[in-house]
Structure 1
Amino acid sequence: MTTSLLDISDLSVHYPTRKGTFVAVNGADLTVAPGEIHGLVGESGAGKSTIGAAVMGLIDPPGHIADGTVSFRGDTISGRDASAMRALRGAKISMIFQDPLTSLNPLLTVEDQLVETIEAHLKLGDKAAKARAVDLLDRVGIPDPAERVKQYPHQFSGGMRQRVVIALALCSEPDVIIADEPTTALDVSIQAQILDLIKELARERQVGVILITHDMGVIADTTDRVTVMYQGAVVETGTTAQVMGAPEHTYTKSLIAAVPRATLKVHRFPQLSYGGRDTRFAIEDLARNWPTPPKSKTGTLVQVDGITKEFTQRGSIIPAWRKMFTAVDKVSFDIREGEVFGLVGESGSGKSTVARMIATLYDTDGGHIYFDDTDITQLASRAERDAYRRQIQMIFQDPFSSLNPRMRVDAIVAEPVLHHKLLTGSAVQTRVDELLDRVGLGSEAGRKYPHEFSGGQRQRISIARALATQPRFLICDEPTSALDVSIQAQVLNILKDLQEHLGLTMLFISHDLPVVRQMCDRVGVMRQGQMVEVADTEQLFAAPKADYTKELLNLMPKLEGLSTEGLENA
């Protein structure tokens, strides 16, 4: 009699292509016992999500399991027909997908989607199914669940949508949950709630969990065992304490060295021994041709003074019946010239709304924003706004959705140069080639399209595009939240180099507090649309004043027991 819930034995997954067979997974072994949380880590393309798809029977043709088996409670489930897998999927094995937007139907309310799943797997009537839907939203930490369940996915923030996806996975009370980056879009407070819920399910209901993540803090604090993958193969497996504290494989050591630490600030993240081009000297070369920015009049480049933003939560032609939501409520702070100012807070706290008002993507409903002593909320003409926007650029959280899939990369990077009429003729292509080379992609990348690149490479394209107008100010809105730890280290090193060698001023928005400590000079903490604390980074982490800040820092993954090999000279 088997003692494990899930057994993956010598699994290989192949994708035939015109250029040959691509081996996504090569001879992988993995077991999950009842009540065990098994972490699966590795960089993008390592094969982690492919293993999850193989277990669920969701490998897209012509991809297929070429060798090995997947067994559930001792019965082989790999190779079953579609009907048999549908009966198993959801009822016994559920999956939490990484991208909530592609997992939710935009035409149905959250209630419709939850009730549909509940009624498909549990023998409940409509009234009981609706009550369970509200209870599930409450369990995953969504406020006002009875009201929010009636809303559509687009009315939720990214973190809120991820919680809805988690609620969908829990609908049928499964025996195995495959969680594919379940906390990528979540701030530390909600991440802690979700991880506590997963641990509770494992402990009390003996649910087996495969936790696929690039967040080593989540692995260290949550999992019982860890499997490390590289290029489709398992390179190391063992207990969490053993793998995280005393890794044996070189690649595992490289991964752990790239983890941002909340207790140790490094000048640069160690260069990984497994791939990853060091762009330090390329950025130094770029700096030689970078124009010297004018000095601000006061030493403060951006001054935010009491800004407010409201959105319509329930529309009506009758003003008294409208319901408004205050996303930003009289927020004030300043960003000094040449510094990196961090903005942190839970999902829905107003961080990205503030960034979009500074970028003039949203109008303010009150207050003022000054850029080098000019009130940008009073810019009346398009020419004035364009002149301001040329000096600021924004790097968005999701590089794929912020890049036009129908444009070649060189055209994407050239677009802001052409829009602002900065260069003409061959000079445009020269700048594009230089930027792509400086961010570590090479000029030949310009002839490709966004879908031909990994997530980390697409974020490098976004950085190249942001630098195209030679701006004075960069807004980075969760620029590394969707990246694995090794690629995150490379992108953060690029941003550090840009700030150091080009003298750029940055607004850095993130829910990852260890990353904020590594990147920022000062930090502002937001909650429910208000600024609760602003302080120097080291002071904030050492002696926070606001109770909410103390709560955030307390919820931060402790990363205790992680190896410090490779950090000595960082």
Structure 2
Amino acid sequence: MALLNIEDIRIEFPSRRGTLVAVDGVSLSLEKGEILGVVGESGAGKSTIGNAVIGLLEAPGRLAGGAVLLNGERIDTLSAAQKRKVRGRRIGMIFQDPLTSLDPLQTVESQLVETMQVHLNLSHDEAKKRAIQLLVQVGIDKPELRVKQYPHQFSGGMRQRVVIALALCCEPEVIIADEPTTALDVSIQAQILELLKKLCREEQVGMIIITHDMGVIADVTDRVAVLYHGKLVEQGPTSKILGDPDHPYTRSLISAVPRPDIKLKRFPLVTYIEDVKTPAQPLDLATHWLGQRRDFGSRTDGPLVQVRDLSMRFVLKSALLKRNQRTLDAVKRVNFSIGEGEVFGLVGESGSGKSTVARLISGLYTPSEGSVNFGGVDLTALKGEKQLNPFRRQIQMIFQDPFSSLNPRMRVLDIVAEPIRFHKLAASEAEARRIVADLLDVVGLGDRAAERFPHEFSGGQRQRICIARALATRPRFLICDEPTSALDVSIQAQILNLLKDLQEELGLTMLFISHDLPVIRQMCDRVGVMRYGELLEVAETEELFERPQHPYSQHLLGLMPRLQSMSREGLDVVAG
């Protein structure tokens, strides 16, 4: 008898417009100690199945057919109170977004202790002791101190570790992990995945891991199930699915995964998907609005961006006496340069200072020490809006989470037009609207998108809106801070191809920050490796990936999934 059986389930979401069938006739099984991967695009039904298993389908969603059995006992027909006893105790859940899983008003200790006391026969002191042990288990330093802190005091990667500790705290029989490592860098991801594998091996816990990361699938899973539009199109051993898939959708999906071992001219697209974006025609910069950047002057002799001894110190606890202050050195005397037209990458663990460097260059933070020189001008010496605004126009930023970057109450037209209006780049409102329509065409959305709101778009489409807004000032320098980390591989391929095309056609200079090393290899000319706020190594991309010099760089690259079983057939490889 299997540990978990999902038998021919059908999940429906009734609405005034009819009934949406989110999952249609899917059957899966999970054995003790086994890790089953579930892959597919956004909307395929992966997370919906996970929510149905633990009884968390959002109304009006309903399980319209089939059954879910845990150790032969049917659990989908249990009462709400009975399902609450199963959740956490027998089935643990790791969600993608740790902020939605944690109570911002309670300390980590309170949340762990409460969960354990509800489900386990532990005293308060026993639960507190186990809470600290769990933080050690998931790799959180100084657990006695960190357990007393609130979720907002942790980085994204650290919050996800806390969520994993919560899922493990009651020693469940089954764990459902929904994109558990999306926001984690490669070293932390390796630690978390090794922890989950060890748990499954030693405790015979069964795990369903829902992810779009084929590296995770290759490294962790025993079997893989592939979903498309709510239907199961293929399942089998991981080596078979990745190495020799039968279904054309699976083959297309795997082809779009960024390669860690070779550099490609373009990312292959998932051609099986009906709405895949075809490459746009090259821009004629002699006539196109985006090519009219003459007011920025000629190309700079030497680097466009020069970072000298850049440091950033955050005060964690203020005090009247300076010696009693608690501070964090997030960036420590960092030096690097970016040539005009170059794509420079920054990699490193969560908390290494990558995003802090980006915010210092863009002017969102003021450095504690050092300088940022842009086009021959020391930006850190400028004062007031009048001096800063011309440079803010030239430097634009694309953030990791497109939804939080967009005002939900504004239409796309006004979101994209806002910087055009602010910097007075259009002679009239009619011209501003024409420019917005043109930009939406450039990023592959079409001018009809202008009248819609952000919530009406998918994650990949929202990131295209952010790119259109970043281009609206005709920038010279684009900072991309994890622009595709939360996207499916097919959408990621589209967005990265778009950024490649725009960089080549417009001659954009880019700072590209990512914890996804295969993406860095495909996108960047040179790469800097950061750890604990220090820049350890800077090298040409291929030189770094083939012959890293610093021990930490070697360690980081050694953790990268190789995906050697995946076919290279049809890939357009860069020579050399």
Greater displacement, 305-314 / 364-373? 305-314
| Distance (Å, rounded) in 1 between the aligned partners of 2:227 and 2:171 | 29
Aligned residue for 2:231? 233
Instruction: Check conservation: 1:342, 1:516, Cα contact below 8 A.
Output: yes
Tell me, in whole angstroms, the C-alpha distance in 2 between the residues paired with 1:286 and 1:174. Answer: 59
Give yes or no for contact 2:223–2:236 (8 Å, CA) kept in 1.
yes
**TM-score with structure 2 length normalisation?**
0.97
How far apart, CA to CA, are the structure 2 residues paired with 1:159 and 1:527? 15
Alignment of 1:284-303 (within 5 A): 284=283, 288-289=287-288, 290-292=291-293, 294-303=297-306
Q: Are positions 1:151 and 2:154 aligned together? A: no
Partner of 2:548: 544
- Tell me which moved more, 70-79 or 558-567: 558-567
TM-score by length of 1: 0.98
Query: Superposition RMSD on alpha carbons, in Å?
Result: 1.4
The one-letter amino acid of 1:238's match is G
Query: Aligned with 2:283: secondary structure?
Result: helix
Alignment partner, residue 449 of structure 1: 453
1:306-455 equivalent positions in 2, closer than 5 A: 306-423=309-426, 424-455=428-459
SS of residue in 1 equivalent to 2:280: helix
What is the CA deviation profile of residues 1-60 of structure 1, one whole-angstrom value per residue up to 9, with x for unaligned ones?
A: x1x111111111111122111111111111111000000001111111001100010011
**Does structure 1 conserve the Cα–Cα contact (< 8 Å) formed by 2:140 and 2:161?**
yes
How big is the shift at 1:193? 0.3
The 3-state SS of whatever aligns with 2:512 is: strand
Name the CA distance, whole Å, in 2 between partners of 1:480 and 1:116: 36
- From 21, 24, 36, the equivalent of 1:23 is 21
Contact 2:91 2:172 in 1 (8 A): yes
Equivalent of 1:489, from 490, 493, 499? 493
3-state DSSP class of the match of 1:106?
A: coil
Partners in 2 of 1:448 and 1:307 — Cα distance? 41
Offset at 1:513? 0.4
Worse-superposed segment, 286-295 or 43-52: 286-295
Cα pair 2:47 2:178 within 8 Å, conserved: yes
Q: 1:285, CA displacement in angstroms?
A: 5.2
Q: Aligned partners of 2:184, 2:239: CA distance in 1, in Å?
A: 25
In structure 1, C-alpha distance between the alignment counterparts of 2:141 and 2:299, rounded to whole Å: 43
Deviation at 1:276, TM superposition (A): 4.6
Distance 1:276 1:139 in 2: 43
Contact 2:263 2:573 in 1 (8 A): no
Gaps of 5+ in 1: none
| 8 Å Cα contact 1:286-1:438 kept in structure 2 | no
Aligned twin of 1:174: 172
- C-alpha offsets along residues 535-560 of structure 1, whole Å, 9 cap, x if unaligned? 00000001100000000000111212
- State how far apart, in whole Å, the 2-side matches of 1:509 and 1:287 are: 31
Structure 2 partner of 1:280: 279
Match for residue 507 of structure 1 among 499, 504, 511: 511
Aligned counterpart, 1:34: 32
For the 8 Å contact 2:264–2:572, the answer to whether it is kept is no
The separation in 2 between residues aligned to 1:555 and 1:312, in whole angstroms, is 33
Residue 67 and residue 283 in structure 1: after superposition, are their counterparts in 2 closer, same or farther (change >3 A)?
farther
Letter in 1 for 2:103: N
1:346-381 CA-to-partner distances (Å, cap 9, x unmatched) read: 000000000001110011000000000100001101
1:129-168 aligned within 5 A? 129-168=127-166
Deviates more, 1:45-54 or 1:12-21: 12-21
Question: Structure 1 residues 550, 187: CA separation in 2 closer, same or farther (over 3 Å shift)?
Answer: same
Give the match's secondary structure for 2:380. helix
1:198 and 1:457 mapped to 2: Cα distance? 33
Whether the 8 Å CA contact 2:372–2:380 is kept in 1: the answer is yes
For 2:274 and 2:512, the matched residues in 1 are separated by 26
The SS at the match of 2:402 is coil
Q: CA deviation at 1:441?
A: 1.2
Structure 1 residues 256 and 535: CA distance shift in structure 2, 3 A: same
Q: Tell me if structure 1 keeps the 8 A contact 2:265–2:573.
A: no
The one-letter amino acid of 1:11's match is I
Say if 1:287 and 1:502, in contact at 8 Å, map to a contact too: no
1:215, 1:485 within 8 Å by CA — same for their partners in 2? Answer: yes
Pairwise CA distance, 1:216: 0.3
Q: Distance in 2 between matches of 1:532 and 1:329?
A: 11
CA distance in 2, matches of 1:179, 1:314: 35
Q: What is the deviation of 1:565?
A: 3.3
Deviation at 1:283, TM superposition (A): 5.1
- Is contact 1:15–1:63 with CA below 8 Å preserved after alignment? yes
The CA deviation string for residues 185-213 of structure 1, in whole angstroms up to 9 with x for no partner, is: 10111000000001001100010000001
CA contact (8 A) 2:11 2:65 kept: yes
CA contact (8 A) 1:92 1:176 kept: yes
Q: Deviations over 1:381-402 (max 9, x none)?
A: 1121111110011000011111
Deviation at 1:287, TM superposition (A): 7.6
Preserved CA contact (<8 Å) 1:276 1:487: no
Q: Distance in 1 between matches of 2:546 and 2:400?
A: 28
Aligned to 2:568: 564
- The answer (yes or no) to whether the contact 2:293–2:474 under 8 Å persists in 1 is no
- Distance in 2 (CA, whole Å) between partners of 1:216 and 1:342 is 22
TM superposition shift of 1:280: 3.0
- How far 1:143 moved relative to its partner? 1.3
Letter in 1 for 2:412: V
State whether residues 330 and 352 of structure 2, in contact with CA within 8 Å, keep that contact through their aligned partners in structure 1. Answer: yes
- Paired residues of 1:220 and 1:560 also in contact (CA < 8 A): no
Instruction: Give, in whole Å, the separation in 2 of the partners of 1:321 and 1:551.
Output: 36
Conservation of the 8 A alpha-carbon contact between 1:283 and 1:438: no
Counterpart AA for 1:410: L
Whether 1:205 aligns to 2:203 is yes
How far did 1:422 drift?
Answer: 1.3
Please identify, of 416-425 and 517-526, the stretch whose mean Cα deviation from structure 2 is larger. 416-425
Give the corresponding residue for 1:93: 91
Structure 2: distance between partners of 1:89 and 1:137: 21
Q: Aligned partners of 2:111, 2:90: CA distance in 1, in Å? A: 19
**Offset of 1:117 from its aligned partner?**
1.1
Question: Which sits farther off after the overlay, 446-455 or 41-50?
Answer: 446-455
Secondary structure of 1:401's partner? helix
Q: Within 2, Cα distance between the matches of 1:277 and 1:112?
A: 46
Which segment is superposed worse, 287-296 or 523-532? 287-296
Query: Structure 2: 5+ residue runs without aligned partners?
Result: none
* Number of residues of Structure 1 aligned to a counterpart in Structure 2: 568
Query: Residues 180 and 213 of structure 1 are in contact (CA less than 8 Å); yes or no, is this contact kept in structure 2?
Result: yes
Higher mean C-alpha deviation, range 380-389 or range 344-353: 380-389
